[in-house]
Chains A and B, each alone.
Chain A
């Protein structure tokens, strides 16, 4: 069974304090790994897609990386507006669009 875990469950940072979020996965045949940001009361907002080990994507203060077992979302010099829940999802198997989501990391950035 495909499984996705995320750590830590919650993270509090001071503004400007860089850190990383982890997404570990156990799947049969990874076809894609996706990062989303979700603000309270809203739907997930797409951030990145990663397809193969060694791939990296960047957007503003965020950088996502992928290995064969896990992905990291690095947050450099975060601001309070980066506070949100960050979700990762995997697409695996031979067919279908079905995503399996991890439980998420709740990030709070304090001013």
Chain B
């Protein structure tokens, strides 16, 4: 399994601002993903972060709101743009070493928008 870290671990932000969340993995991985977990809810996939190309977004999520970068095989960022209180959630990155099999998750970033 991979060791995954996220920064920041938590933040409180003002409405209308943006926050960039970093995800760092201790080894090169093929696939990285970003999830959202709203309070008391399960995980919803936002997008797949592709190395060297644009991210692939799930229905209901758009690049203008959640721009993603993946400059190499160990690092990715997710930006939450023009935030509103509805964006208050835990944001999680995960990795997989292949197209099949389990994903491993980071510790999450708890975002509160006021």
Other-chain residue from B41, B103, B108 in contact with A99 (beta carbon distance below 8 A): B103
CB of B29, distance to nearest CB on chain A (Å):
11
Q: Is the CB of B102 within 8 A of A46?
A: yes
Q: Is the CB of A44 within 8 A of B105?
A: yes
B interface, how many residues as a size bin? 20 to 34
| B108 CB contacts on chain A under 8 angstroms | 41-43
Residue ranges of B at the interface with A (Cβ–Cβ < 8 Å): 1, 4, 31, 33, 41-45, 48, 58, 92, 94, 96, 99-108, 110
Q: Is the CB of A99 within 8 A of B101?
A: no
Other-chain residue from A36, A44, A87, A91 in contact with B100 (beta carbon distance below 8 A): A91
Q: Is the CB of B48 within 8 A of A97?
A: yes
Other-chain residue from B41, B92, B103, B107 in contact with A103 (beta carbon distance below 8 A): B41
Q: Is the CB of A31 within 8 A of B103?
A: no
Whose C-beta in chain B lies nearest to the C-beta of A100? B45
Other-chain residue from B42, B58, B105 in contact with A43 (beta carbon distance below 8 A): B105
CB of A33, distance to nearest CB on chain B (Å):
11
A interface, how many residues as a size bin? 20 to 34
| B110 CB contacts on chain A under 8 angstroms | 41
Q: Is the CB of B42 within 8 A of A97?
A: no
CB of A83, distance to nearest CB on chain B (Å):
17
| B92 CB contacts on chain A under 8 angstroms | 43-44
List 21 A-B residue pairs with CB atoms under 8 Å apart, sorted by A's residue number: A32-B101, A32-B102, A34-B102, A34-B103, A41-B110, A42-B108, A43-B92, A43-B105, A43-B107, A46-B102, A46-B105, A49-B102, A89-B43, A95-B99, A97-B103, A98-B48, A98-B58, A99-B43, A99-B103, A101-B43, A103-B41
